[in-house]
Amino acid sequence: MTDSENEGNSLDLRHQEKMRRRKEIQDREVAGKSVEKGLLVVHTGPGKGKSTAAFGLALRMLGHGRRVVVVQFIKGAWQTGERAALARFDDLLEWHTMGEGFTWETQDRARDIAACARAWDVARAALARDDVALVILDELNIALRYDHLPLDRVLAGLRARPAMQHVVVTGRNAKLDLIADADLVTEMTLVKHHFRAGVKSQEGIEF
């Protein structure tokens, strides 16, 4: 056997031993987790992908035959690829687009507040249902940021939901009290964005 072959075998053995120890650690850690509960998940931050990640979770839940409710607080009734795709699970999915567009489009604070109040009524009904496994409150953080909804009322509704129901809240600038209540918070960090190079919104990427 050549020196290079011996060296290769030695590297393989060291890697195998390292992975064996790593597996032991991982197995012990996994075995120590026994809590099962409905999670409050927050996707926030200036980076792209907050709603996209939430809809990925919706697809996962639908794949397990569980019921999902989506409530969109800000986005208007424009057609998106994810809505069209997930609509194929119409026996398990309820999708409510309650917004009338971003605040700079409506330019009417009272109208925005009224739209968010209607959206919250729909969300609150979903949060009270035992048969709904996942509720996505898309862009709720934006509604809270502009004080279109009372934060204390929203937190109370989230806390009162069924014990095994999961909720995902999306949007920039998540309130600190919401973050404190959440089980999982992901902040999308903007590193580079094609908009800054003059690239417009494109089908299949932005909608």
DSSP, collapsed to helix, strand or coil, labels residue 205 as: coil
Q: Give the Cα separation of 177 and 65 in Å (integer).
A: 32
If we measure between CA atoms, which residue out of 175, 14, 146 comes closest to residue 158?
A: 175
Q: What letter does residue 148 receive in the DSSP assignment?
A: S
Query: What pLDDT is stored for residue 75 in this prediction?
Result: 74
Q: Give the Cα separation of 22 and 19 in Å (integer).
A: 5
Asked whether the beta carbons of 127 and 167 are under 8 A apart, the reply is: yes
Asked whether the beta carbons of 165 and 183 are under 8 A apart, the reply is: no
Tell me the pLDDT of the chain (207 aa) as tens digits: 676 666 768 888 888 888 889 898 888 888 887 889 999 999 999 999 999 999 999 999 999 999 999 999 987 666 788 999 998 999 999 999 987 655 545 568 888 899 999 999 999 999 999 999 999 999 999 999 999 999 999 999 999 999 999 999 999 999 999 999 999 999 999 999 998 889 998 888 888
Query: What pLDDT is stored for residue 150 in this prediction?
Result: 97
Starting at the edge strand found earlier in the chain, the sheet holding 132-138 runs 93-97, 67-72, 132-138, 166-170, 40-44, 184-187
CA angle 116, 46, 98 (to 5 degrees): 20
